[in-house]
Amino acid sequence: MYEKKEKFMNDTLNNFNNTSADVKCIEDVDILDLLDQYENDADQLWGATDDLLHYEIVTFDKIDTPTNPCTSLEKFKMCEEDCVNTKMDNLTCREPNCMTKCLQQQKFTQFTQLRQGLKIFLYQNLSLYIFEYMFLNSTSSPCVNLSVMEDCHKNCYLDQIKLQNLTCQFPFLPKEIDNDEECIANELACNYTAILGEIRIKVNPSFLCNCARECEKTVITTHYNFEKHNTNTTIFYSFSNWIRKLTEYYSYDFIALLCDVGGYLSLYTGLSCTSIVKLLFHDLKKTFQKLLFSVKKNHFEKKVISNISIMLKEKKEVPHLDKIKIIFILLSFSVCCYIISIRVKDYFKFPVYVTIVLVQDRYIQPPTIVFCSENSDMYEKKEKFIMSNHTFHNVKCIEDVDILDLLIQFENDADQLWEATGDLANYEMAVQMGKNFGKKSKTFVPNFGNLSYLDTVFGRCIKVESGSMEYNPVSAIYYMGFFGEGIRCNTHTKIFLMKTEERIDFLTYNIQPHDVAMTIKFSRQTLDRLDTPTNPCTTLEKFKVCEKSCVSTKMEDENIICRLPFLNSTNITMCKTPADAKATRKSYIKVHANTDAIHDCNCDPPCSHTIYTNLIDYCPITKEMDILVLTMYEFDSNIREMLKEELAVPFIKLVCDIGSITGFFLGLSILLCFKLVEKFLNRIKVHL
């Protein structure tokens, strides 16, 4: 698209009537002005604008209820279209709440664009992502309202400040830390200020002072974009009108307890509430009769009571009563068998449901991150290559030169080429500078990971493995930096997460231009699967072995004729020409970026693994700081969503349901079944 826009500007440069002649930035050329270059075919134009996009897909399945109705997607689109047409036809008197009258669709899929490929456009706006968490106030994990939690945090900080034995009074500290002398602007006050800042960073009241969490917590994740603009305004808008709200509920409550107790009692003893009440009244009646006969011994009372008892015991025969009983028993038995069969079928399907458990971790550990950038030697090699090859004289961006084209400068040895792309010393120097700065500062806590080399398709990259640390929203930030070559045409760093210990995940591709500081905000989800006969799962180690075998098989199907340093295969020789090397790299990316071991090779998924999602922020830096490329990565909060699969019909519930069904329809229990079997055997003995 850039080439098409540049051609459009050159073709119209001498046209006085064309407004594009005064355009200085090629990005300001409207893509619709390029229609004539695509034979006035908008489909071709739109297809040419395609770029690498990654999306986070969230699907919402709604239930149609009287209080919150929903409709099909087709009906929703018809209502939405009518609403838009209404607004367009009557702009001066349009109905602002038109869309609220449209019923929500039953199934809604939200595509959140996380990042774009090599072309990054910066806008001056602030996007807000809102997450609401509603916690339960339980004995094991209590929660309080916001004011109580803030008071606990405040008292925790004050207790730590008291331990410092300050000799002067700051105006922003409460009176309980009172001193006769007020702090003045001197070296002592500066030292105390640094101590207070260090306490704010290192003290975590939630764990140090056991402060309870807040029952209602709102986490707002910001996403900044910037662009040079004439105005000083910043646009605030929500990326989506959906607010993710998670509420804790008891998975096993008092009603479920009563149902289980009733099922067990009905199945094993044949007891129910009515039978228990009947037994109690029967015992009370017997006790009352004994008391009555012992007090009043006269013959009249005994005779009257006995006659009344005889009258009550007499049965009045109803015509066809036995037939009605038989029909009712058969009907109840049929319904009972049908319901039990459905429940048994459901049990052997091993259905599961997913519960979300909100966990607030004390310690956090970011994933392993890989940084791929180019050092000064590679820039020199590329400049030399462009000057010595006439076919590359039209290349304007030195970054566009493929490193595989430089094989000839390394005697066609790919190992030497990959070794030249590494620049670990540069990163280590930037890390050391950050550590030295942290030693002098009391408010800046530098957290850096362990650096090592990793061979990838982009050369020898830097792998950063970070250790766990206690979470604190102020200081739980990791830093990574290196000294770049300044701002060039398209200078950038490629950033990936690791798929396994050996290779990067192409689907986590991020770009950091060297004229911006970049912040990566992580959020975590832990998925715990159930290992069932219908949906088996395995350990993470066994899954990785199966996945590795799957990828190896697909690589063999590509029939590559040579290898590169990032391939572990020793059966084939190293690539000697750029063409062969590019073919190998293309096959590698094709396989590793598009292979799903679970679906393609029937690998059992891991029973437990952690999913990381990230949001990228860019902040412009000054030209004086463009040599230092800074990357920060942190967690938006220490709340981790644990998605746990639970059996919808476990064996205990199956037994309880069978007991409840048989007890309700037939009044059967295990004891009654033994009695019936005993009577049946006794009758057989009598006949024998």
Question: What is the per-residue pLDDT for 172?
Answer: 78
- Of 220, 247, 274, the one marking the end of a domain is 247
Average the pLDDT over each of 40-54, 492-506, 634-648 and give the range with the smallest value. 40-54
Please tell me the total number of residues recorded for the chain in this structure. 688
Name the band, by pLDDT with cuts 50, 70 and 90, for residue 267. low
**For residue range 341-371, what is the model confidence (pLDDT) as tens digits?**
888 888 888 888 788 888 888 888 889 999 9
Average the pLDDT over each of 58-67, 101-110, 239-248, 390-399 and give the range with the smallest value. 101-110
User: Which tokens in the block code for residue 343?
Assistant: 């429940």
Name the band, by pLDDT with cuts 50, 70 and 90, for residue 86. low
Average the pLDDT over each of 88-97, 143-152, 281-290, 345-354 and give the range with the smallest value. 88-97
Q: What Å distances lie between residue 514 and 452, 488, 627, 668, CA to CA?
A: 22, 9, 8, 77
210: left (phi over 0), alpha (psi -120 to 50) or beta: left
Average the pLDDT over each of 96-105, 305-314, 528-537, 603-612 and give the range with the smallest value. 96-105
Single-letter code of the amino acid located at 184? I
- Please indicate, yes or no, whether residues 242 and 270 belong to a single structural domain of this protein: no
CA distance 426 to 347: 60
User: Which tokens in the block code for residue 678?
Assistant: 């005993």
Name the band, by pLDDT with cuts 50, 70 and 90, for residue 401. confident
Please check whether residue 592 lies inside any domain of the structure. yes
Average the pLDDT over each of 223-232, 302-311, 386-395, 411-420 and give the range with the smallest value. 223-232
Question: What is the per-residue pLDDT for 74?
Answer: 75
Question: In the beta sheet, which residues pair with residue 216?
Answer: 134
309: left (phi over 0), alpha (psi -120 to 50) or beta: alpha
**For residue range 516-566, what is the model confidence (pLDDT) as tens digits?**
888 888 888 888 999 999 889 999 999 999 998 999 899 888 888 899 998
**For residue range 455-492, what is the model confidence (pLDDT) as tens digits?**
999 999 999 998 888 888 777 788 888 887 666 677 78
Question: What is the per-residue pLDDT for 431?
Answer: 86
Q: What is the DSSP string of 406-436?
A: GGGGGTT-HHHHHHHH--HHHHHHHHHHHHH
Name the band, by pLDDT with cuts 50, 70 and 90, for residue 582. very high
Quote the pTM value.
Answer: 0.63
Name the band, by pLDDT with cuts 50, 70 and 90, for residue 120. very low
Single-letter code of the amino acid located at 466? S
Of the ranges 7-11, 619-623, 669-673, which is most confident? Answer: 7-11
Determine the 3-state secondary structure of 331 from DSSP: helix
Please check whether residue 240 lies inside any domain of the structure. yes
- Please indicate, yes or no, whether residues 134 and 221 belong to a single structural domain of this protein: yes
Average pLDDT over the chain, rounded to an integer: 74
Tell me the average pLDDT across 652-676.
73
**For residue range 310-338, what is the model confidence (pLDDT) as tens digits?**
655 555 555 566 677 678 777 877 877 88
- Please indicate, yes or no, whether residues 241 and 270 belong to a single structural domain of this protein: no
Q: What is the DSSP string of 550-592?
A: HHHHHHHHTT-S-B-TT----SSPBP-SHHHHHHHHHHHHHHH
Domain that holds residue 217: 127-247
Question: What is the per-residue pLDDT for 463?
Answer: 93
Please check whether residue 451 lies inside any domain of the structure. no
Please check whether residue 148 lies inside any domain of the structure. yes
User: Which tokens in the block code for residue 5?
Assistant: 């826009």
Q: pLDDT higher for 33 or 111?
A: 33
**Is pLDDT at 121 greater than 50 in this prediction?**
no
Question: What is the per-residue pLDDT for 625?
Answer: 56
Please check whether residue 210 lies inside any domain of the structure. yes
Please check whether residue 140 lies inside any domain of the structure. yes
Q: pLDDT higher for 422 or 184?
A: 422
**For residue range 365-388, what is the model confidence (pLDDT) as tens digits?**
889 999 998 888 888 888 888 888
Question: What is the per-residue pLDDT for 137?
Answer: 84
- Please indicate, yes or no, whether residues 667 and 581 belong to a single structural domain of this protein: no
Average the pLDDT over each of 40-54, 144-158, 159-173 and give the range with the smallest value. 40-54
- Of 185, 217, 247, the one marking the end of a domain is 247
Q: What is the DSSP string of 60-71?
A: EE----SSS-EE
Q: Could you tell me if 494 and 460 are in contact, meaning their C-beta atoms sit under 8 angstroms apart?
A: no
Measure the CA angle with vertex 379, ends 374 and 385; round to 5°: 130
**Is pLDDT at 199 greater than 80 in this prediction?**
yes
Question: What is the per-residue pLDDT for 512?
Answer: 84
Query: HSE-up of 124 (CA within 13 Å, CB side)?
Result: 8
- Please indicate, yes or no, whether residues 212 and 272 belong to a single structural domain of this protein: no
- Please indicate, yes or no, whether residues 156 and 229 belong to a single structural domain of this protein: yes
Q: pLDDT higher for 232 or 72?
A: 72
- Please indicate, yes or no, whether residues 583 and 679 belong to a single structural domain of this protein: no
- Please indicate, yes or no, whether residues 227 and 281 belong to a single structural domain of this protein: no
Q: pLDDT higher for 619 or 128?
A: 619
- Of 579, 606, 633, the one marking the end of a domain is 606
- Please indicate, yes or no, whether residues 134 and 243 belong to a single structural domain of this protein: yes
Question: What is the per-residue pLDDT for 20?
Answer: 47
Please check whether residue 445 lies inside any domain of the structure. no
Q: pLDDT higher for 233 or 26?
A: 26
Tell me the average pLDDT across 45-55.
56
Average the pLDDT over each of 217-231, 395-409, 619-633 and give the range with the smallest value. 217-231
CA distance 603 to 542: 9
- Please indicate, yes or no, whether residues 184 and 278 belong to a single structural domain of this protein: no
CATH classification at residue 674: 1.10.287.770
Average the pLDDT over each of 50-59, 200-209, 254-263 and give the range with the smallest value. 50-59
CA distance 43 to 35: 10
Long-range contacts of 398-405 (CB under 8 A, 24+ apart): 398/488, 398/489, 399/374, 399/488, 399/489, 399/490, 399/491, 399/492, 400/489, 400/490, 402/578, 402/582, 403/378, 403/458, 403/459, 404/578, 404/581, 404/582, 404/585, 405/578
- Please indicate, yes or no, whether residues 226 and 286 belong to a single structural domain of this protein: no
**Is pLDDT at 454 greater than 70 in this prediction?**
yes
- Please indicate, yes or no, whether residues 568 and 679 belong to a single structural domain of this protein: no
Look at the chain and report how many structural domains it folds into: 3
Q: Could you tell me if 607 and 539 are in contact, meaning their C-beta atoms sit under 8 angstroms apart?
A: yes
Please check whether residue 331 lies inside any domain of the structure. yes
Exposed / middle / buried, residue 578 (Cβ in 10 Å: 0-12, 13-18, 19+): middle
